[in-house]
Chains A and B, each alone.
Chain A
Amino acid sequence: MALAIRRTSDILCAARWLIRRDCRVLSTLPEKAEISQEVVVRRPAGRRPIANEAVLESRHIYPEFLPDPNPDWRNSLREKLERADMLKRRSQIDIPEFYVGSILAVTISDPHAQTKTTRFVGICIERKGCGLRAEFTLRNVVDHQGVEVRYDLYDPTIQKIQVLRLEKRLDEKLLYLRDALPEYSTFPFDMDPEILPEGTPVPINPVQVKLKPRPWLEKWERQELKGVSNIEEHLKGKDRIRRELRKTPWEKYDLMKQYRKTIPIEDQSEIWAEVHNQLQQLQLSRKKMARKRTFTAPKPQLG
């Protein structure tokens, strides 16, 4: 059967070829005219669907859904399985939207604690990792001692992640809080969550911290930090000279470097198309819960 079909198709092909040949001979039009028409027809079909702006916005809310851009480590099936596992975990625990600079309270199961749970409050100073490896670091000062705890975002021992204050800071990472005065990273453990009205953009806290005098853990003066106010006080002449020497102002024009560091928009829109619906549903259920909470909260105050 298949052979017969092939044969007929072959004959058809030959016939078409002959007809085209004849036309070419007969017609006065140049060959290109036909081709250009075809191209015009094809273009709209071949164009990729324009990514929805709202969908692409989720790359800021859920940055860990984008894979590591290193091409040596990428594999579409693994990324798909990983995303499915992330959504499975998200269906069990509400992982809220938060950023570097937000203040979080994390409750985990701890076999060594007396109540078998531990709660830690702190400011998120770093957020990194892709997929199930995503992690964040909380910092607080407890009894005049700086404490940092690193959590895996998808660790099944995490019972609850609560955002006490949702805000951003001026920098991508707040590692300089380690060398700043302790009041900038001190937060009480009994903080009340601040609820933002719905639809407001995430506020940016323009606070600039004061650094302690040297020695520092890193050369902060070379990192072009916006959230530090007194960095010039602690610098000597040689530090300023070396900072100038180490500057790489050309890097912002290095398009290839930028491309290698990021996931292209075509890949992103595919990823978000896959997970956006489920994430949206999770977000809706979270909003419902939040509304319930706001209605129940005033009652004891009245009574």
Chain B
Amino acid sequence: MASFNLKNICISLSKLRIGHAVTRSHSNGPRYRPPYWFASKERVMTNDYLTQENKQFVEEVMKDKMKVQAELESPLANNGDQSIQQWAPTTRRVGVIARKIGNYPIWSKDGKKMLATLLQVVDNHVVKYIPPEEFKPMKTCKVNWREKRRLGCLLVGSETIDPSTVTKDYCGLFDSVGMLPKKHLCRFMVSPEAVLPTGTPLLATHFRAGDYLDIRAKTIDRGFQGVMKRWGFKGMPASHGVTKTHRRPGNIGAGGEKARVWPGTKMPGHMGNRWRTLRGVKILRINTKHNVLWTLGVAIPGETGAMCYLYDTILPLRKLKSSPPFPTHPPADDLPIEYYDESIHPYDNPTVTYEEA
């Protein structure tokens, strides 16, 4: 009985702690809480006073390691048809990490011009799988965890880097599975059927031309911006006797009962550098040689060179209808270099002509 009381007291005390209250609004995201598997990456670089020979030796070792890493064979190629799981509309596949490399126009078969964004899938490898029973993320808000617990966590890294440029802890994360550290690390929530073994490379062929994506990336960082740029306010007139107030917000609230600034009032502040997801982006074309995806539109967040995460879309009307490469497309040499969506006019096709009706 006494222990039960003590437990109750402990619980109520833990509720009282200062950092517990979570306030959220549309402009302030949740506080950053790193996941438990995450180790800080950045390292303070020190001068080790290495001799030229030692430096060369370190470089040599690094080269050898990189070579071994590059020559690693995909585990999918070996075990063949042993454990192929069936895809169902409810299963969730892994996504990939891509880099935005620019945009240029592409024409449809009926002669319409559209702008496409190019996304390059750079050196993606599966790092680790955490099954749903072991995966216990820090709770940031009220979510129905019963539903979520059915999904496992798959860590995917992209771009191999020199281990001496990152911390020991971060290296250890990769070392425990026999890989070199990656520059970018992302977790994907996947169904247990869609699990991939460690070291599986993920390629652009993971998706098909004509499918739809959800793309998550950080928006362009614009710094501290005024109200006109940040919220699209109109500002004040440029002339007609207006002085010292051309780009200012004007009134921010009434007096009386509500004589204070209401929470969520649109004001100047930091703009951009936020995670945003663009949903339902169509894949127009895929290059298998350079692992590049052409996606419709220029609204993908981030500047050229920004990293973004690609998922299968969750929009109900654009969801995958037939089975995609599941769990992923195994690396193959005999693939065609380009895949086009059927609406796209390849550049090496003859000129578009219209038939007389």
Chain A proximity of B15: nearest CB distance (Å): 49
Q: A157-B352, A158-B351 are in contact. Are A6 and B290 (CB under 8 A)?
A: no
Q: A85-B347, A88-B347 are in contact. Are A72 and B303 (CB under 8 A)?
A: yes
A152 within 8 A of B: yes
Which one of B104-112, B131-139, B200-208, B312-320 contacts A? B104-112
A221 within 8 A of B: no
Complex Cα distance A17/B292, Å? 47
Chain A proximity of B68: nearest CB distance (Å): 8
Chain B residue nearest in CB terms to A132: B104
Complex Cα distance A216/B303, Å? 39
B: contact size bracket: 35 or more
Chain B residue nearest in CB terms to A115: B356
12 residue pairs from A and B, CB less than 8 Å apart: A6-B61, A9-B60, A13-B57, A75-B101, A75-B102, A75-B305, A81-B287, A92-B349, A109-B354, A154-B105, A155-B107, A157-B351
B86 within 8 A of A: no
Please name all residues of chain B whose beta carbon is closer than 8 Å to the beta carbon of A74 when the two chains form the complex: 304
Complex Cα distance A154/B111, Å? 11
A231 within 8 A of B: no
Q: A6-B61, A131-B104, A156-B107 are in contact. Are A92 and B352 (CB under 8 A)?
A: no
Please name all residues of chain B whose beta carbon is closer than 8 Å to the beta carbon of A91 when the two chains form the complex: 348
B85 within 8 A of A: no
B56 within 8 A of A: yes
Please name all residues of chain A whose beta carbon is closer than 8 Å to the beta carbon of B257 when the two chains form the complex: none
> Could you say which of A14, A77, A158 has the most chain B C-beta atoms within 10 Å of its C-beta?
A77
Contact, CB under 8 Å: A92 / B354: no
List residues of A (104-141) whose CB comes within 8 Å of B's CBs: 109-111, 115-116, 131-133
Contact, CB under 8 Å: A88 / B353: no
B64 within 8 A of A: yes
Contact, CB under 8 Å: A159 / B53: no
Chain A proximity of B344: nearest CB distance (Å): 11
Q: Name A's interface SS.
A: helix
Chain B proximity of A152: nearest CB distance (Å): 7
Chain A residue nearest in CB terms to B64: A2
Q: A73-B304, A156-B345, A159-B351 are in contact. Are A78 and B104 (CB under 8 A)?
A: yes
Contact, CB under 8 Å: A152 / B290: no
Complex Cα distance A131/B118, Å? 14
Q: A73-B102, A78-B101, A89-B347 are in contact. Are A14 and B354 (CB under 8 A)?
A: no
Chain B interface residues toward A at CB < 8 A:
51, 53, 56-57, 60-61, 64, 101-102, 104-105, 107, 110-111, 113, 118, 120, 287, 290, 292, 303-305, 345-356
Q: Name B's interface SS.
A: loop
Please name all residues of chain B whose beta carbon is closer than 8 Å to the beta carbon of A282 when the two chains form the complex: none
Across the interface, A156 reaches (CB within 8 A) one of B53, B347, B355, B356, namely B347
Please name all residues of chain A whose beta carbon is closer than 8 Å to the beta carbon of B354 when the two chains form the complex: 109-111, 116
Q: How many A residues touch B, CB cutoff 8 Å?
A: 37
Complex Cα distance A158/B290, Å? 29
Please name all residues of chain B whose beta carbon is closer than 8 Å to the beta carbon of A73 when the two chains form the complex: 102, 304
Chain B residue nearest in CB terms to A71: B304
Contact, CB under 8 Å: A92 / B348: yes
Across the interface, B351 reaches (CB within 8 A) one of A9, A77, A115, A156, namely A156
Complex Cα distance A247/B351, Å? 47
Chain A proximity of B341: nearest CB distance (Å): 15
Q: Which 5 A-B pairs have the closest CB atoms?
A: A78-B102, A88-B347, A88-B348, A157-B111, A75-B101
A10 within 8 A of B: yes
Please name all residues of chain A whose beta carbon is closer than 8 Å to the beta carbon of B53 when the two chains form the complex: 13-14, 17
Contact, CB under 8 Å: A72 / B351: no
Chain B residue nearest in CB terms to A73: B304
Please name all residues of chain B whose beta carbon is closer than 8 Å to the beta carbon of A75 when the two chains form the complex: 101-102, 304-305
- Interface flags, A73-101, vs B, CB<8A=1, else 0: 11101100110011011011100000000
Across the interface, A116 reaches (CB within 8 A) one of B57, B104, B355, namely B355
Chain B residue nearest in CB terms to A116: B354
Please name all residues of chain A whose beta carbon is closer than 8 Å to the beta carbon of B347 when the two chains form the complex: 85-86, 88-89, 92, 154, 156
Complex Cα distance A154/B304, Å? 23
Complex Cα distance A133/B102, Å? 13
Across the interface, A92 reaches (CB within 8 A) one of B60, B101, B351, namely B351
Q: A2-B64, A13-B56, A72-B304 are in contact. Are A156 and B349 (CB under 8 A)?
A: yes
